[in-house]
Chains A and B, each alone.
Chain A
């Protein structure tokens, strides 16, 4: 006799099925979530790379040394060079416009996609080449601005180029001399012919690099000491990608979901193992009376459990991988993910989860099973020694907490969930015991159905309390995830409401302000207020001079920044330290953005030396602000009181929303105000919106998986007490009780359990949601009052109907058959 045989036979009992399902689900959830999160993280990094169009970039004001490029090529890095500068584009009719030229070589971009079209605003396709020598590709607006069409000549400096296509988007669109005018793309080979790039002219060279992480690091280390003034290496520090917070929150959600999935699966495993053990007391006693030794039984059931674990893990790994893959395909297009990140880690985590869950929750009841005395065959009052089970659960609980921590890598996340669970377990369990023992008096005064069901609950007081706690945990985790999903989706919608500004205008001269407002009014364009803006540079902090950029030195560097002035704290900004000044302040004070201050090493009370134009002023830091970078609204690192900054020369800055159908208005604007710099963010906004929708979809699916896990726990929980109930009910029926009485009693019992569980669940869910939203996901928290009645009602309906369904055959089959099967 071996475990395999035992397994096959036990399969008929049904408990193994739930055990296997629970183990499979645990592994599926864990593997799926972590595989997906791993790919998401990789995508996040890719995302930041995409805005560079490379993995690393050397930015330089002068042509990049060929030695650097050779060195990179030697180390198997892919390289390409771009050159960007502002210039006039001139047509055959002598129409001209300022444009942002970017000259590229074949191979560009190394990361991300170059999107083009044949006609302005025509269908977009992905470019598989760059402009050939002699060609020039234009931003769509330029066709109208310059009055050219494909095939027409266009001069950049002395070079005569042919208009050959439309550039719709480059991955590193915002780099270099971005913003001086609409983009044109040409081949680097034509640069000499333009005669524009002279020593000292304002150009931006970029050496783009991509390849293996090792080679990149070697190159970075090699090149960093050689960087001169005006040269920088990008891509080493994690530049916060635009989507950073969104994806981070999604990732957080997935990790929370995964952790909850683990808890739920552990609960399902614990419950089904417990039932499995109870139902195997007699078989084990018989086998022992037939001569099976204790270790034999242990080996048999241990082996059986291992088979279940192995099979469940394998199945879970496959399913989990499929789930992860499914999510990935949902995102592939938007995020430019080409292939899922294949790593062994998710599978390891999944395997360990199965091991821990089975080891801590399924194994203890099974080992105790082997201790059943064979005398049980003669004396049926001998039963499983349940004294150690609370210790088992405690240890198992600790193991699951550690697992959650390891899995999410987030202590606060784990803590928040555990606190919620503790409320449910301790308060809920105690409350349930109290109520169940107190109910006797109420019960005896009530009708017979009530008396029956309350008596039943009380007789099984301990197991009823345990059952209630398990129900509460399952409902709590399901509610929790629903709540967090709601909060996330709400936040994302608030982040990019309809009408989010998708164009920025800079360089608005004070005398043009009124005219611009009139323009906006005429076309009913929604816009933000206009902010004054003055270029300035932080040169000293507390009298210590800061190093200039590009020089070799430790510590903070000089920072160039756009300064603004404001009487009142801008909307969406939050003062985290110090105090915002009183309106009309005449003091030389300054308010800094949190991270900006940190990088400067400035705190409240620090004195900053600011160089504005030729002048220098000293201001004291009196407040530190947190800024919502996600809003896409204008934000400023440095704000001064109007009295201080207003006397300096300034331009204005604003942002506005232009729907895609009105994109042509931009040409009117640019024609009317040729000196404005317009930054077009519409593609990015659309893209972010798309990704958010996708993330939302992924979250729905995850929620579905978790709800399934929760349902499984509920089913396992209901089944856990079915045996006792079935035999009692059969006896009652044999003694002549009516169907309605029995069904009523069962429904009532489970309803009471469900109501208690629902209440506890809502309390635990609120607590955990508060912790998670405020401390992990960076979301605001509001108690969800509608959840309270809902939780209770759902608890009652769900548990009662599950209970009735599980007991249905008690009343639909003759009592004799039921009694016989026992």
Chain B
């Protein structure tokens, strides 16, 4: 479960303060999926960063499974991420020096889990890349890279999965496949899914939909 209360984010820009998020509150139950839509620059990525504890809010709080992020320092937030949070990015964010397999193994290794290689292989098989374990990201297509990123996100079996425009860099057909993959994994793992998207098809498949408009969030029914 993730609960957001009156979240503010302001950054100083050239002597002035730019208010990016202006009091956001919502709650999403475990296993639910939610989509956040909105125009470019409205603050979606900023919100996602705060939800995942990648950044610190200027006001308000994010509570993940009863733990308040406001009370945690950077390292504790990192530990929380290692345990509970997975990520899928628009630009994939794979390590170029690691093979597909090693990229998927990375969060498992960081968490010190046993059997990292086996688990990573399993998930790469699930995303249909069982044949390309030893390939480097540069030799994979965009869709394939995003599948590796999804395998990486699910391999650590997070309670929460954030995706920032996961299909933003992909063509329609590939995007469709990625969306299917996301939701089927979500269904089997019971992960809470929060994603930012411009893609209407993707938003439509989520149980809940939010619209971001100049720093404020409202639910679309």
B89 interfacial by beta-carbon distance below 8 Å: yes
Contacts A1-B110, A374-B54 known; A290 to B81 CB distance under 8 Å? yes
Could you tell me if B110 and A292 are in contact, using CB atoms closer than 8 angstroms? Answer: yes
Partner among B48, B78, B156 whose Cβ is within 8 Å of the Cβ of A292: B78
CB within 8 Å for A373 and B97 given contacts A1-B112, A287-B106, A378-B164: no
**Known A289-B81, A373-B54: A378·B49 in contact at CB below 8 Å:** yes
Cα(A373)–Cα(B102), bound, Å: 23
Interface flag for B70 (CB, 8 Å): no
Q: Are A290 and B79 in contact (CB under 8 A)?
A: no
Q: Are B107 and A290 in contact (CB under 8 A)?
A: yes
Tell yes or no: A293 within 8 A of B by CB: yes
Establish whether residues B97 and A12, one from each chain, have CB atoms under 8 Å apart when the complex forms.
yes
Contacting residues, chain A, for B156 (C-beta < 8 A): 290
Residues of A262-296 contacting chain B, CB below 8 A = 282-283, 286-296
Chain A contacts for B93, CB-based, 8 A: 282, 286, 289, 377
Complex partner residue of A378 from B48, B96, B107, CB under 8 angstroms: B48
> Which residues in window 55-95 of B have CB below 8 A to A?
55, 74-75, 78-83, 85, 87, 89, 91, 93-95
- Interface pair B87/A377, CB less than 8 Å apart: yes
Q: How far is the CB of B47 from chain A (nearest CB, A)?
A: 10
Decide if A295 touches B75 in the complex (CB within 8 Å).
yes
Nearest-Cβ distance from residue B101 to partner chain A, whole angstroms:
11
Interface positions of A from 282 to 327, Cβ below 8 Å from B:
282-283, 286-296
**CB pair A290 B95 closer than 8 Å:** no
A820 close to chain B: CB less than 8 A: yes
Q: Check if A291 sits within 8 Å of B83, measured CB to CB.
A: yes
**Binary per-residue interface labels of chain B (107-149) against chain A in the complex, 1 for a CB within 8 Å, 0 otherwise:** 1011110000000000000000000000000100000000000
Is A5's beta carbon under 8 Å from chain B? yes
- C-alpha gap A379/B49 in the complex (Å): 10
Given the known interface contacts A378-B49, A378-B164, A379-B45, the answer about A291 and B85 at a Cβ–Cβ threshold of 8 Å is: yes
- A295-B94 Cα distance, complex, nearest whole Å: 22
Per the bound structure, the CA–CA distance linking A820 and B83 in Å amounts to 32
Query: In this complex, what residue of B is CB-closest to A14?
Result: B97
Check: B52 CB closer than 8 A to any chain A CB.
Answer: yes
Q: Is B98 part of the contact surface with A, judged by Cβ < 8 Å? A: yes
Q: Tell me whether A294 and B74 are in contact (CB under 8 A).
A: yes
Closest Cβ–Cβ distance, residue B44 to chain A (whole Å):
10
For A12, the closest partner residue in chain B by CB is B97
> Looking across the interface, which residue of chain A has its beta carbon closest to that of B45?
A378
Q: A1-12, CB under 8 A of B: which get 1 and which 0?
A: 100010001101
Tell me whether A94 is interfacial, beta carbon within 8 Å.
no
Q: Complex formed: what's the CA distance from A289 to B110 in Å?
A: 11
Given contacts A1-B112, A374-B54, contact A291 B81 (CB under 8 A): yes
Q: Do A283 and B55 have beta carbons less than 8 Å apart?
A: no
Q: Select from chain B the residue with minimum beta-carbon distance to A297.
A: B78
CB of A293 within 8 A of CB of B54, answer no
Q: How far is the CB of B76 from chain A (nearest CB, A)?
A: 8
By the criterion CB–CB under 8 Å, are B109 and A289 in contact?
no
Closest residue of chain A to B96 (Cβ to Cβ) is A821
A510 partner residues in chain B, CB cutoff 8 A:
none
| A residues less than 8 Å from B111 (CB atoms) | 291
Listed by A's residue number, 18 A-B pairs whose Cβ atoms lie within 8 Å are A9-B98, A9-B102, A12-B97, A13-B97, A282-B95, A287-B110, A288-B78, A289-B87, A290-B107, A291-B82, A291-B110, A292-B78, A293-B74, A373-B54, A375-B54, A378-B49, A378-B89, A820-B138
Known contacts A1-B112, A290-B106, A374-B81; 7 additional CB pairs below 8 A are A9-B102, A282-B93, A289-B87, A291-B79, A375-B49, A377-B54, A377-B93
Q: Residues on B close to A: CB < 8 A?
A: 45, 48-49, 52, 54-55, 74-75, 78-83, 85, 87, 89, 91, 93-98, 102, 106-107, 109-112, 138, 152, 156, 164
Those 6 A-B pairs whose CB atoms lie nearest each other, nearest first:
A291-B82, A1-B109, A291-B81, A293-B75, A290-B107, A293-B78
List A residues at the B interface (Cβ < 8 Å).
Answer: 1, 5, 9-10, 12-13, 282-283, 286-296, 373-375, 377-380, 817, 820-821
